[in-house]
Amino acid sequence: MRGPRLFPRLRQKWREKPEWAVPLALFLTTCVSTTFVGYIMYGDLSFTQAFWFSVPLMTILTLHELGHFLQLRRLRVKSTFPYFIPLPLPPLGTMGAVIRIRERLPDRRALFDMGLSGPVAGLVAALGFLVLGLFLSTTSTVPPQDKASAVTFGAPLVMRWLASAILGDGSDGARFVLLHPCAIAGWTGLFVTSLNLMPVAQLDGGHVIYALLRKRSTVFSYVVLAIVCVVAAVYRFWGWFLFVALLVYFGFKRQPTRDDSRPLGAFRVVCGILALAYLPIGFSPRPVIVAAPPTPEAARVASASSEPQPLVFHIGLQR
């Protein structure tokens, strides 16, 4: 008779668990999964180097979610704690996190503040870790010839600017950048922020553009998706078509705030424009490129050319 009674007791204890229990368990699991991916992908089977990837990455993601969460607490809007999504597979070890908002936001200003606070907090951390990681990275005149040599990162403009300032522009022939795991985490933060700031659907950028344009934001979102499709075709990165399909599938309908008529004010409008202006310098048309690297001989010939050669960003296996 104990068996039938056991399951109701377990269900009752599950209902009585603290609200933070599941989010905390998912957070810790995601810490493990990102460390595992860092261990096998970026750290050359070294836990020290794996932590150089997972700790910065989880810091960036946590600050992003805390930006949303604390803003919702400030606005006294009921919501859950952030639910992190572990995925122990390359390239990241996680699918990010979600927060469920349990009631309508009071007005457009609240929607704008909630939507923008997360990306800003995450971007500041990502830039800091990227700069640190670039200082720890090295350059070479020839591409790496190890197992990671086939993977290169499509660096956005802001990363190229920082890399040129810290490591040089490659004019001396040392144009192959072997990225430290901390720099890869920073690159990830830039990339995730650019995705979140796309002014589409339920993304953070979608909240921002709705607060700016209200119902006219839907037309703006379709234009942005059309541009993404053109970019996908030009750069032949077909993953963007899947990304667009998912956004269209989840739809563009959104619940209005309790007071959509309240004006944002000049300061928030300027901040929204600056946030959208980040997209051209933070977005990577081809974020990851898998191709055979040039041979050392071909690399030396290219380096000796009078034409400037761009920096190439590789996984720098730390030994």
> How confident is the model over 197-208, as pLDDT tens digits?
999 878 999 999
Domain for residue 213, yes or no?
Answer: yes
pLDDT, position 143: 72
Residue 151: closest CA among 26, 263, 315, 316: 315
Res 291: pLDDT: 65
Residue 79 lies in a domain: yes
- Confirm whether 264 is domain-assigned: yes
Q: Which two tokens stand for residue 304?
A: 């000796």
Here the tokens at position 260 are: 């959509």
How many independent structural domains does the chain possess?
1
pTM: 0.88
Picking from 103, 97, 99, 98, the residue whose alpha carbon sits closest to that of residue 78 is 103
CB-count burial class (<10 Å; 0-12, 13-18, 19+) for 224: buried
Q: Are 259 and 108 in contact (CB under 8 A)?
A: yes
Residues of the chain with pLDDT under 70: 1-17, 145-150, 171-173, 291-309, 316-319
CB 75 within 8 A of CB 14: no
Backbone angles phi, psi at 72, to 5 degrees: -65, -35
Cα–Cα–Cα angle for 209, 70, 274, rounded to 5 degrees: 30
> Considering the domain boundaries, does residue 103 fall inside one?
yes
pLDDT of residue 251: 78
Residue 9 lies in a domain: no
Q: Are 75 and 114 in contact (CB under 8 A)?
A: yes
| Tens-place pLDDT, residues 59-105 | 999 999 999 999 999 999 999 999 999 999 888 899 989 999 988 89
Domain ranges, residue 114:
20-315
Q: What pLDDT does residue 5 have?
A: 57
Residue 243 belongs to some domain of the structure = yes
Position 12 scores a pLDDT of: 62
The stretches of the chain forming alpha helices (DSSP H) are 2-15, 21-37, 47-74, 108-136, 157-167, 181-196, 204-213, 217-235, 239-250, 266-282, 296-304
